[in-house]
């Protein structure tokens, strides 16, 4: 049972922008940095964003992240068909002494 | 080549056991914490267990505490997950994931993943 809540799905036309929210609490997002992962069908997850808003060098700047209080947001600009995937937020939970993932959001390009 | 490869999965009966391995290469294995993450068919990601870079601390999800054991052999660049007393709800793809942080858990993230290994618990 995930402790971080995400919308089940979001969609937009090619070239548009989508945002995915991730809601947590003071023991996880409120006190630790958030990372985001992209999981293409049938593959392992891939790191997109770490420490709330930093991108690994190979990730295009179309992907962005932010955090405020106990919530975080992933933005995907200039949507492409190759962005169709499941997206997960995640962070350390200090109370649980473990990592927690969001419920996951499926992105569809219309 | 920087990669991690899992092995040891398969089909097992309820109450049975399996030992998963994750062999790492191309990076300094002993400098990183290592975690196991699983994904049940059609479901989301679930953190399972973690071990510090030197093996000194281990943490487990409540759902596997007392049944699963994580360990590592830094001389062989390998992390293990011993699965005992398996239940049907443990059926999942199991991923090993490299943990990278600036020294404290609050900055940590998974920056490298294995391809995953399937564990099926069924009679």
Strand partners, A86: A39, A106
Strand partners, B85: none
Asked if pLDDT for residue A23 goes beyond 80, the answer is yes
Given the DSSP bridges, would you call strands B117-121 and A98-101 parallel, antiparallel or unpaired? unpaired
Inter-chain CB proximity A90 and B60 less than 8 Å: no
Residues making up chain B, counted from first to last: 123
Q: What is the pLDDT of residues B68-104, one digit of tens each?
A: 999 999 999 999 999 999 999 999 999 999 999 887 7
Dig out the tokens for B67 from the structure.
């049944």
Asked if pLDDT for residue B62 goes beyond 70, the answer is yes
Half-sphere exposure of A89 (CA within 13 A, CB side): 36
Residue A1's pLDDT is what? Answer: 63
CA angle, A94 then B41 then B87, to 5°: 75
Strand partners, A76: A18, A63
CB B6 within 8 A of CB A63: no
Residue B116 at interface with chain A, using a CB cutoff of 8 Å:
yes
Across the A/B interface, how many CB contacts are shorter than 8 Å?
Answer: 67
Asked if pLDDT for residue A106 goes beyond 70, the answer is yes
Question: In percent, how much of chain B has pLDDT > 70?
Answer: 100
Inter-chain CB proximity B45 and A101 less than 8 Å: yes
């Amino acid at each position: 049972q995930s402790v971080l809540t995400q919308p089940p799905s979001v969609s937009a036309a090619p070239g548009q922008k989508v945002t995915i929210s991730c809601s947590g609490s003071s023991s996880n997002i409120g006190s630790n940095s958030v990372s985001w992962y992209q999981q293409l069908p049938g593959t392992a997850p891939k790191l997109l964003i770490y420490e709330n808003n930093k991108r690994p060098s190979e990730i295009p700047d179309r992907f962005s992240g932010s955090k405020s209080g106990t919530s975080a947001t992933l933005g995907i600009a200039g949507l492409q068909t190759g962005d169709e995937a499941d997206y997960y937020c995640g962070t350390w939970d200090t109370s649980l002494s473990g990592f927690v993932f969001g419920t996951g959001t499926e992105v569809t390009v219309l | 080549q920087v990669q991690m490869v899992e092995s040891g999965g398969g089909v097992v009966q309820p109450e049975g056991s399996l030992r998963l391995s994750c062999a790492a290469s191309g990076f300094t294995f002993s400098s990183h914490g290592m975690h196991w993450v699983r994904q049940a068919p059609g479901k989301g990601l679930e953190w399972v267990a973690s071990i510090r870079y030197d093996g000194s601390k281990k943490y487990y999800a409540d759902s596997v505490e007392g049944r699963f054991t994580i360990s590592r052999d830094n001389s062989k660049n390998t992390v293990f997950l011993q699965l005992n007393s398996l239940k049907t709800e443990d059926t999942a793809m199991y991923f090993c994931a490299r943990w990278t942080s600036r020294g404290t858990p609050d900055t940590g993230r998974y920056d490298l993943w294995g391809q995953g290994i399937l564990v099926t618990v069924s009679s």
